[in-house]
Structure 1
Amino acid sequence: MDKLDLLQGIARISVFISLLLAFFLFTVKTENKLANRLFAWFFIFSAIDLSGFFIDASTRLELNLEIFRATACLFGMPLFYLFVLAVCYSDFRLKWKHLAHAVPFVVVNLSFLPRIYLNDTDLDTFLPSLNRMPEIYFIQILIEFQYVFYIVSVFLILKKYREIYMENYANASTSTYKWLFQITCVFLAAHSIVALKNIIRYSGFREVFLWANVLVGSIALFITCWFIMKALKHPELFRGVNSKLKLTKDILPIENENTIEAKEHQDEAADVQISTLKQYMAEKEPFLDPSLTIQDLANQIDIPVRDLSVLINHKMDQHFFDFVNEYRIQKAMSILKDQSKSQLTVLEILYEVGFNSKSSFNTSFKKYTNLTPTAYRNAS
């Protein structure tokens, strides 16, 4: 089997698996249907892009269709960007304004009309000059700019999502953020190889270019299989936050306009609220609820959620996430030191104090004590 046959074989497998995963995402029952459908369309367009490795054009019409197919890659990153929004924000909905993401695809195909799609030159004469045409250079440069734009945008979305999550939720699982961050990093690394392959295209090293294509096809196959394994192993990854939630730093500038006297009064009131909050946490132990949110706690102690957010995240200089986990760890420490509860396993203790993940519990416990739970129990 030569390199071209190997490349076509890998591409066919990748296309099949991508379409199979898209079908699964369209049909699986889930609360976040929009995210699944956007991800399914991402895989469909990935399959369309990968099909170029084994499609040959022998007529002028087939060549035009092949070029049109190649431009479909401009939908990949916009779909991934919208997918990330749909996963991160539970209230995200598609709107007419999102059609703007299709503008590059439309612009490129309009630019191809005069000299490529409507060109009636003989195919044998036209093909050798195709890759050197300004329109082809244009789409390749546009793809690179588009990729950088969406990758940066996704990283910014994830940064804000993580901050909002930690300020408003106490669930110790941040698996959604980690997974999306991993995907984005993998895409960035994979596209770097694709960009290098495109540079090699014009170097004249045909053998190296063919091997680079084999590498790209193999990476695409690996990434698709990795997605399938992740989806099967972690079905809980779709956990969104409300996009209307504001970060504390976005609220504070309004409060900073108050007078010095008003600020002193606010500080006194904050001290009283902090004392009330700590007393409530110690006596009622709301942190034992693994799904506790800042809205839940605000309702319980009868403080507006906006004020409670400022109180914890600004006045106490802690994320809500860390604030609640500190109480959980203290509770776990007391249980681990209690000889009458020595029969309890670490797994039983972490569930009892409000955690729902062993890895998250171990990470948080070591953060506060510099010891693992087992080491702390043995040292007590």
Structure 2
Amino acid sequence: MDSNSLISIISLIAVFVSVLLSFFLLTVPSERKLGNVLLAGFILLNAIDLSAWFIYGFTIQHPDLEIFRRSASWLINPVFYLYALSICFSDFRLKAKHLLNALPFIVYNLVMLPKVYLADFTAKTIFIEHYGDWPASKIMLLAGHLQFAGYFIGVFLVLRKYRKIYLENYADSRTITYKWLFQLTVVITIVHAIVMLKDILKFIVSTDVFNGAQIIVGINAVFILCWFVLKALYYPDLFRGINSKIQPADDLVLEDHSVREPDKGVLSLQDQENIQRIRDYMVQKEPYLEPALTIQDLADQINMPVKDLSILINNHLDQHFFDFVNAYRIEKAMKILRDPARAKLTILEILYEIGFNSKSSFNTSFKKHTDLTPTEYRKKYIH
């Protein structure tokens, strides 16, 4: 069996898995229906692109279908970008303006009208067989790579905003939206980098080795995507969207003319009193024991505008709300771990008691705070 036959078989399996996964996403009951539809669309579009390895023998006999199949690749990056928005921001909805993302797809098909769609069968077939010799094909290739770069820079910017707002407004350590979507985006970027390298080198040397590398990495990406989807479906609470209208604390400061950047480190008497009130409340009422505590919840409890609370914690105390709350949780854990009367409690029982719901997040936060693991800390104080 030659390498091309092997790649065809592997790609056929990958396409089958992708179609099966997409069908599952489109039919499974879920509160995240829009995100599931967009992710299914992204997977199907990639499957259509990947099918070129084994379907070309058929589509060359149907040139219109082959060109339309190629044009679908112009929708892959926009759909993934929209998916990133849908999973990061709980209030995201598709609007008419999002149709602008389909403009390259429309333009490509319009360009192909006289070349393929309106041409006779012989002209269509000759054009496709010599597509690489068409002067505009190289421009199309470059435009495709530029489109990918633009959209994936956009995805990374969305993730940066999501992470910043999440840390400033939420204290639930369960969320893995940022982590998983970031990893998925990195994997897709690596796959595309290999494709881009192959496209560059095919004008210079034989690229059989890169064809193999491309399909292998592409298959890995499919199965990583499967893991991501299954994780999202079986543990929906782990993927938490935020409201896109929430602003980062730095933007709130710029809007608040009473807080000037040069005076950022100088606290007024009122600010000092408010900070002390917040700290007293955290110690006395222990709101951090609620795993899903948000900055809005805390603001409501202490009867303070959420904007003012965000500026005090994220700007004046120079801490994310996430870190601010976790510091109290770790202090509580340290007290429990030092208490001989509670020595029989397991680490898991302790982390749930203090508001964590992830052992890895608790261990990471505890070691960051004490330079010791919870077990090491307990052994240090209880013999």
TM-score, normalization by structure 1: 0.93
Deviates further, 339-348 or 123-132:
123-132
- For the residue of structure 2 that corresponds to 1:55, the secondary structure is helix
**Larger RCO (CA under 8 A, 6+ residues apart):** 1
Partner in structure 1 of residue 226 of structure 2: 228
Give the corresponding residue for 2:86.
Answer: 86
Q: Aligned residue for 1:275?
A: 276
TM-superposed CA distance for 1:29, in Å, is 2.1
- CA separation of 1:60 and 1:23: change in aligned 2, threshold 3 A: closer
Could you tell me which residue of structure 2 aligns to residue 74 of structure 1? 74
Once residues 89 and 352 of structure 2 are traced to their aligned partners in structure 1, the CA distance between those partners, rounded to angstroms, is 27
Question: Pairwise mapping of residues 144-163 of structure 1 onto structure 2 (< 5 A)?
Answer: 144-163=145-164
Q: Following the alignment from structure 1 to structure 2, what is the Cα–Cα distance between the partners of residues 58 and 225?
A: 27
Mean Cα deviation higher: 366-375 or 222-231: 222-231
Flag structure 2 segments of 5+ consecutive residues without an equivalent. none
2:183 aligned partner? 182
How far apart in 2 are the matches of 1:104 and 1:343?
63
Residue 117 of structure 1: CA displacement? Answer: 3.7
Question: Residue 25 of structure 1 aligns to which amino acid in structure 2?
Answer: L
Q: Does residue 132 of the first structure (1) align with residue 130 of the second (2)?
A: no
**Distance of 1:254 and 1:230 partners within structure 2:** 38
Q: Deviations over 1:77-134 (max 9, x none)?
A: 1111000100000000000000000001111111222334444455675455321112
Q: Per the alignment, do residues 231 and 317 of structure 1 end up closer, same or farther by CA in structure 2, a change over 3 Å counting?
A: same
2:361 corresponds in structure 1 to 360
For 2:218 and 2:123, locate their aligned partners in 1 and report how far apart those are by CA, in whole Å: 35
Quick one: distance in 2 between partners of 1:18 and 1:82? 19
Say if 1:84 and 1:180, in contact at 8 Å, map to a contact too: yes
Identity of aligned residues (%): 48
Matches within 5 A, 1:241-260: 241-256=242-257
* CA deviation map 1:320-377 (0-9, x unaligned): 0000000000000000000111001111111111000000000000111111111111
Measured at CA, do residues 21 and 259 of structure 1 come closer, stay the same or move farther in structure 2, by a change above 3 Å? Answer: closer
- Aligned AA for 1:96? A
Q: How far, CA to CA, are the matches of 1:27 and 1:115 in structure 2?
A: 39
Q: 1:36 offset after TM fit, Å?
A: 0.8
What is the CA-CA distance between 1:60 and the residue it aligns to?
7.0
5+ residue gaps in structure 1?
A: none
> 1:104 is matched by which residue type in structure 2?
P
Q: Once the 2 structures are TM-superposed, how far is the Cα of residue 11 of structure 1 from its aligned partner? A: 1.3
Equivalent pair of 1:60/1:123 in contact (CA under 8 Å): no
Superposed CA deviations along residues 262-315 of structure 1, whole A, max 9, x for unmatched, are 999982111111111111100110000000000111111110111111111112
Separation (CA, whole Å) in 2 of partners of 1:124 and 1:231: 39
Q: 328-337 or 219-228: which moved more? A: 219-228
Q: By how many angstroms is 1:220 displaced?
A: 2.2
Q: For residue 40 of structure 1, what is the aligned residue in structure 2? A: 40
| Mapping of residues 190-209 of structure 1, within 5 Å | 190-203=191-204, 205=206, 208-209=207-208
Taking the aligned partners of 1:324 and 1:218, their CA distance within structure 2 comes to 44
Deviation at 1:200, TM superposition (A): 3.1
Partners of 1:35 and 1:86 within 8 A in 2 = yes
Q: Aligned letter for 1:212?
A: F
Superposed CA RMSD in Å reads 2.3
Q: Kindly indicate whether the alpha-carbon contact (under 8 Å) linking 2:173 and 2:357 is maintained by their aligned counterparts in 1.
A: yes
Is the Cα–Cα contact under 8 Å of residues 39 and 83 in structure 2 kept in the other structure? yes
Moved more, 273-282 or 168-177: 168-177
